[in-house]
């Protein structure tokens, strides 16, 4: 059974919330943290409801609304969300209030808006979805697990249209921890010069991406979500190569059939090594696309990579801002492989076809 992406809604550190354009311009950030460009929330959320919502809930609900409008769908049959670390800011406010007020007369809003499933519940109430509702909090594989769950629902015919998405935020506490562990760069680096940097670490980012997936193709469908595969802490590079080639063979293609390689490299000279080797050994013929100079690194950044790959197949164009090198061939854009890694531990492959 083919799984079709029939709609998408993305809010990121770039101008991505308008589906009428496809990365027309790029925003530059001088620091090591990339934060989302917020749309006009009044276009997507009732003003009376909006004033009670946190920044992340506003962006998440807006992204889901953009996705459903793009799919021309009012109410999905199921809602699945994913997050690596949840609503860190609201959780911090809740825990701080516990300490400062000695657990007395706590503000319930902070607790209600800090739980992992706050967004999926909010979306369900807003669009009146009474069906399956689940949230996965699995760090580097959260989005992949949510997509797999959505594919199972569709293939088992328990739902016809599933809204699946992810969200993660840039938070100063996480940034401090990552800096101590060497995950983010010590020197200030412009995001547009991320891949010119030859040092360890990357930039911290955030974002949310929602997709409407279905077993039915529609005139406005973006692409086919063929399959996905995950590899946790591969023992060595040959093992990762075997996993990749086996994944492609299971889908009836070889590396030579891939037209666009969406490289989830993060600008970390240490942890990007295997992604770069995969590109060199298997996909030197394909157009190489990168995206983490636009979004930064976060646990569910692979969702942006999927949106980028789907957008390339839908528009049959590759924005210059994401090309790693000028295109050297006129291959038709029919097959996209998204190869993402999170901190050099979580590797995931998404296969998209026109």
pLDDT in tens, 62-72: 999 999 999 99
pLDDT at residue 166 tops 80: yes
pTM (predicted TM-score): 0.96
Percentage of the chain modeled with pLDDT above 70: 100
Can you tell me the distance from the alpha carbon of 161 to that of 214, in angstroms, rounded to the nearest whole number? 5
Tokens of 195: 């891949």
* Crossing angle of the two packed helices 88-100 and 55-70, in degrees rounded to 10: 150
C-alpha–C-alpha distance, residues 339 and 329, integer Å:
21
| SS3 labels along 299-341 | CCCHHHHHHHHHHHHHHCCCCHHHECCCCCCCCCCCEEEEEEE
DSSP 297: B
Helices (H), the chain: 47-50, 55-70, 88-100, 108-112, 118-127, 142-155, 172-181, 237-250, 273-282, 292-295, 302-315
Q: What is the pLDDT of residue 23?
A: 95
Residue 212: per-residue pLDDT = 98
The residues, any chain, with a CB within 8 Å of residue 276's CB and separated by 6 or more, are 263, 265
**How many other CB atoms are found less than 10 A from the CB of residue 77?**
18
DSSP assignment, residue 37? P
d(CA 188, CA 179): 12
Residue 327: pLDDT band (50, 70, 90) is confident
Is it the case that residue 148 has pLDDT exceeding 80?
Answer: yes
Give the pLDDT confidence of 91-109 residue by residue, as tens digits. Answer: 888 889 899 888 888 888 8
User: Residue 92: exposed, middle, or buried by beta-carbon count in 10 A (0-12, 13-18, 19+)?
Assistant: middle
How confident is the model at residue 31, as a pLDDT?
87
Given a contact cutoff of 8 angstroms between Cβ atoms, the answer to whether 207 and 62 are in contact is no
């Amino acid at each position: 059974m083919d799984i079709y992406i029939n709609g998408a809604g993305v809010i990121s550190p770039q101008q991505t919330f308008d589906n009428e354009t496809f990365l027309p311009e790029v925003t530059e950030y001088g620091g090591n943290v990339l934060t989302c460009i917020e749309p006009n929330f009044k276009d997507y959320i009732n003003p009376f409801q909006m004033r009670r919502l946190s920044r992340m809930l506003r962006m998440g609900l807006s992204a889901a609304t953009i996705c459903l409008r793009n799919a021309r769908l009012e109410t999905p049959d199921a809602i699945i969300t994913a997050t690596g670390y949840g609503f860190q800011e609201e959780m911090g406010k809740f825990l701080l209030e516990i300490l400062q007020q000695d657990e007395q007369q706590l503000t319930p809003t902070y607790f209600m808006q800090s739980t992992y499933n706050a967004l999926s519940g909010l979306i369900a109430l807003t669009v009146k979805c009474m069906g399956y509702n689940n949230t996965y909090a699995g760090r580097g594989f959260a989005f992949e697990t949510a997509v797999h769950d959505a594919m199972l629902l569709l293939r088992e015919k328990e739902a016809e249209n599933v809204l699946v998405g992810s969200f993660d935020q840039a938070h100063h506490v996480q940034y401090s921890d990552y800096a101590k562990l060497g995950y983010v760069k010590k020197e200030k680096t412009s995001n547009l010069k991320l891949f010119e940097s030859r040092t360890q670490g990357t930039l911290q980012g955030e974002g949310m991406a929602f997709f409407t997936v279905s077993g039915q193709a529609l005139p406005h469908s973006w692409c086919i979500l063929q399959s996905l595969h995950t590899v946790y802490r591969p023992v060595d590079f040959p093992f990762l190569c075997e996993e990749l080639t086996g994944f492609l063979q299971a889908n009836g293609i070889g590396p030579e059939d891939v037209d666009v390689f969406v490289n989830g490299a993060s600008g970390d000279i240490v942890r990007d090594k295997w992604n770069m080797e995969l590109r060199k050994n298997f996909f030197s013929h394909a157009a190489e696309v990168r995206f983490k100079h636009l979004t930064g690194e976060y646990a569910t950044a692979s969702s942006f990579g999927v949106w980028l790959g789907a957008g390339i197949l839908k528009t049959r164009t590759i924005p210059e801002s994401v090309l790693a090198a000028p295109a050297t061939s006129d291959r038709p854009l029919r097959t996209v492989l998204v190869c993402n890694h999170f901190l050099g531990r979580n590797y995931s492959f998404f296969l998209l076809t026109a």
